[in-house]
Amino acid sequence: MTVHALPSGAEVARHDTGLERVDAVSFAPDGERLLAAGSGAETSVLQWIDHGVIAEAVEVPVPAGSKRTMIAWSSSGPRVLFARPRAESVVVDGVDGRPLIRLDHHDAGWWQALSPDGRMLITADRQVRAWMVAASQGRAALLADDRR
């Protein structure tokens, strides 16, 4: 993984994650650390990179090979969505990898977006649905559905 300065494009840092694939990366709000989400051999992995060194790596109880992965920062810390069409999608806590909510393949849709604060999830296929991330119950609460 390479970090470039903008607008020059000069390389600032290079990080060897050791992952088979990096699916999402995001700077922490303080700009000092990076959070990378990707795939190991069989599971998904979160890595915190601090000043070029992997400070912490957490295995996530999500099978490797998510088709879409995204990171959002909330007041409670980072939230990471691992989305897999035709399979369960999971939003996990970006610090400890703990699953916060799960959506079965019927609800996950083909496209997903996690709100910047990590509290809402939008899913879309032939219909668009809005979900409130309810970590205490482990499932997402459906807020809106455009089904006609």
pLDDT tens digits, 77-130:
888 888 776 667 788 888 898 888 777 655 556 677 777 777 777 777 777 877
Residue bearing the bigger pLDDT, 110 or 27? 27
CA distances to 30, 102, 124, 133 from 139, in Å: 30, 5, 17, 7
CB of 94 closer than 8 Å to CB of 78: yes
Highest mean pLDDT among 30-34, 105-109, 135-139: 30-34
What are the backbone angles phi and psi of residue 123, rounded to the nearest 5°? -120, 145
| Correct CATH for 2-145 of 1.10.150.120, 2.130.10.10, 3.40.50.300, 3.30.365.10 | 2.130.10.10
Over residues 20-44, mean pLDDT: 85
Q: Which two tokens stand for residue 38?
A: 């990707």
Distance CA 39, CA 6 (A): 28
Delimit the domains of the chain by residue range: 2-145
